[in-house]
Structure 1
Amino acid sequence: MTATRSTRQRDVIARVLGEAEGPLAVVDVLERAQADLPGLGIATVYRTLKLLTEQGQIHPVTLDGETRYERAGGGHHHHFSCTGCGRVFTLHTCPVALPRGTVYPGGFIVEAHEVTLYGKCPACAASA
């Protein structure tokens, strides 16, 4: 019985992350998953996130010192953090033309880059 229950929890948490518009904080994963699993606890969410990360299904993203999680395999992308509602969205276009191997002034050789844009999401901008 426990194996079936843990599989259901894993499936629900993986689905929540797969349907998200961007990376989610642990508390957001918990709240969304509790819609299907009302008794779900935070410890189970942490264990499941660790397992899904180890399996390569999701990966952690650190934004403003907070670890969030998103589905793996999204390819090269960046994030937009709303200063109004606090939600984080995935951006599928790259605002930086800085390919791998570029030599940045001072002799820095670029291997990868991450960009987080900050501002108001469409919903917050409309209500301002």
Structure 2
Amino acid sequence: MERSTRQRQAIRDTLREADRPLSPGEILEHARQQVPGLGIATVYRTINALVEEGSVVVVDLPGEAARYEMAGKQHHHHFHCTSCGKVFELMACPGDLSWLAPPGFRAERHEIVLYGSCPDCPGA
């Protein structure tokens, strides 16, 4: 087990307090409020360790760099703002979409990403 450090705790706090998946850069920006000298290499190293231990999960969006959020959340989907690039959680799910699979195929899971503008961006 890795020892707890101020840097590690700041990164955990940042992910826990976020209401959306964060990029490593966003994690760095927010965690630096607690630990001003925090560097991006420490963020990546810590994220990898947290993913490996299972307390953080990767949020993959097509064509985008990975983002991260705390594990243990209910099944949910995401909204990607095409103006600012932020990703937000959608807490609703349309349910079983296996009927969309071609005949003979067996759907095992689904992920949905909505794209558009968030309320903070022009055109919202």
TM-score, normalization by structure 2: 0.87
List alignment gaps of at least 5 residues for structure 2: none
Structure number with higher strand proportion: 1
Match for residue 119 of structure 1?
116
Match for residue 76 of structure 1?
75
1:85 is paired with a residue whose SS is: coil
Match for residue 18 of structure 1?
16
1:108 is paired with a residue whose SS is: coil
Q: Which residue of 15, 36, 44 corresponds with 2:42?
A: 44
2:89 is paired with a residue whose SS is: strand
1:111 is paired with a residue whose SS is: coil
Give yes or no for the alignment of 1:105 onto 2:93. no
Amino acid at match of 1:110: A
The size of the alignment, in residue pairs, is: 121
* TM-superposed deviation, 1:102: 5.1
Amino acid at match of 2:34: D
Q: Alignment RMSD, CA only?
A: 1.9
Amino acid at match of 1:118: Y
Residues 3-51 of structure 1 show CA distances to partners (whole Å, capped at 9, x for unaligned) of: 5xx5211111011011112111111111111111110011111111011
Contact 1:102 1:109 in 2 (8 A): no
Structure number with higher helix proportion: 1
